[in-house]
Amino acid sequence: MSSPPQNSTLPFSAKNKLSRAIDPAVRFKRSLDQVAADTESLLDRLLAPKPVSGELARPVRLLDAMRYASLGGGKRVRPFLVVETAKLFGVPRREALMVAAALECVHCYSLVHDDLPAMDDDALRRGRPTVHKAFDEATAILAGDGLLTFAFDILSRPQTHAKPDIRIQLISALAHAAGVGGMAGGQMLDLAAEGRFTNGRGRPFDFADVKALQSMKTGALLKFACASGAILGEAPGKARAALERYGSAVGEAFQVADDLLDIEGDAATVGKATGKDAAAHKATFLSLLGIDGARKRLKTLIAEAEKAIAPFGKDGAILQAAAHFIANRRS
């Protein structure tokens, strides 16, 4: 287990001065690639055909669909945030990667279910056919269910953290981020704003409505990613609050960038259909702020993220670079 430094308001990790001298943007890219590779191989191992103790069997078609949904694609931004925030407190990488894998399972489940005909009805995800196209709808629903529950299996394992109370904190925080008061709730508000349940008449929405909806739908998982590093590292409340402020700013920036990609990106680069938000009369930042307003908002959010991470000094530089990447991403 990590041993956070004593007598400091915001703990820091002891880092190699040489590695810190490298441009944070370069370090960010290297770390993102390494975390992506590590998350991939961990998920590959966790989703092996052999059942674990307590399971009766792992049906091949379901496991194949869960693997298709979670392996071989994705930027792995959320795992990166888990690993890099955990690093601030000297958390062993193998523990952070368990949380990263669990979070990625929840994220991948949400994409599978979001793509279903009853939701966004998409045929393309990560540049490949969506799960219900590659398999079938029933299998896609079950693959989502399997991934969501698997996330909590992973968090409950002693390899995630030796202390049961830390594991419970992680389970509770992820459940809150993913459930009725988080991502699933945000998705429901999104569908309602489209007018799905009111004969196509969407309720007028303002900036506060969109901010609340998006902070649940997209922001909650990204905020959890940042908070989880502090939970694993048993960080002081002030440090966790700073990371949550960073996570909220980055979460909103992620969504504003997504809105911009939906109108400015092309499907081949983004890896999914674009131009869908306006067609579905979605409650987006872009529909309220316009393109220039959205770009201005991104600058404000990057500044908020940088301010939140500033107390971590040079140790936080890679997370500052991540905020820029997330705001300016092209896929």
Q: Which is nearer to ligand GRG, 219 or 233 (CB)?
A: 219
CB 96 within 8 A of CB 229: yes
Please report the sign of the dihedral spanned by the C-alpha atoms of residue 128, residue 133, residue 134, residue 137: positive
Q: How far is the CB of 17 from ligand GRG (least distance, A)?
A: 32
Alpha-helical regions (H) of 235-309: 237-264, 267-270, 276-279, 285-309
Burial of 263 (0-12, 13-18, 19+ CB in 10 A): middle
Q: Which is nearer to ligand GRG, 95 or 114 (CB)?
A: 114
Q: Which is nearer to ligand GRG, 110 or 160 (CB)?
A: 110
Q: Which is nearer to ligand GRG, 113 or 223 (CB)?
A: 113
**Residue whose beta carbon is closest to ligand GRG:** 74
Which amino acid type is present at position 195? G
Q: Which is nearer to ligand GRG, 2 or 187 (CB)?
A: 187
Binding positions for ligand GRG, rule: CB under 6 A:
74-75, 77, 107, 110-111, 113-114, 119, 126, 183-184, 187, 217-218, 255, 258
Give Cα separations from 42 to 64, 71, 93, 181, 261 (angstroms): 16, 10, 12, 29, 30
DSSP H helix total and E strand total for the chain: 16, 2
Count other C-beta atoms under 10 Å from residue 105's C-beta. Answer: 28
Q: How far is the CB of 74 from ligand GRG (least distance, A)?
A: 3
Q: How far is the CB of 7 from ligand GRG (least distance, A)?
A: 38
Q: Cα 117 to chain center, whole Å? A: 23
Q: Which is nearer to ligand GRG, 110 or 228 (CB)?
A: 110
Longest CA–CA separation in the chain, Å: 61
What is the residue whose two structure tokens read 């306006």?
A: 278
Q: How far is the CB of 115 from ligand GRG (least distance, A)?
A: 8
Q: How far is the CB of 290 from ligand GRG (least distance, A)?
A: 19
CB 177 within 8 A of CB 220: yes
Smallest CA-to-CA distance from 250 within 278, 227, 277 is with 227
Q: How far is the CB of 144 from ligand GRG (least distance, A)?
A: 8
Q: What are phi and psi of 163, to 5 degrees?
A: -90, 125
Q: How far is the CB of 107 from ligand GRG (least distance, A)?
A: 6
Q: Which is nearer to ligand GRG, 81 or 166 (CB)?
A: 81
Q: Which is nearer to ligand GRG, 160 or 255 (CB)?
A: 255
Q: How far is the CB of 39 from ligand GRG (least distance, A)?
A: 11
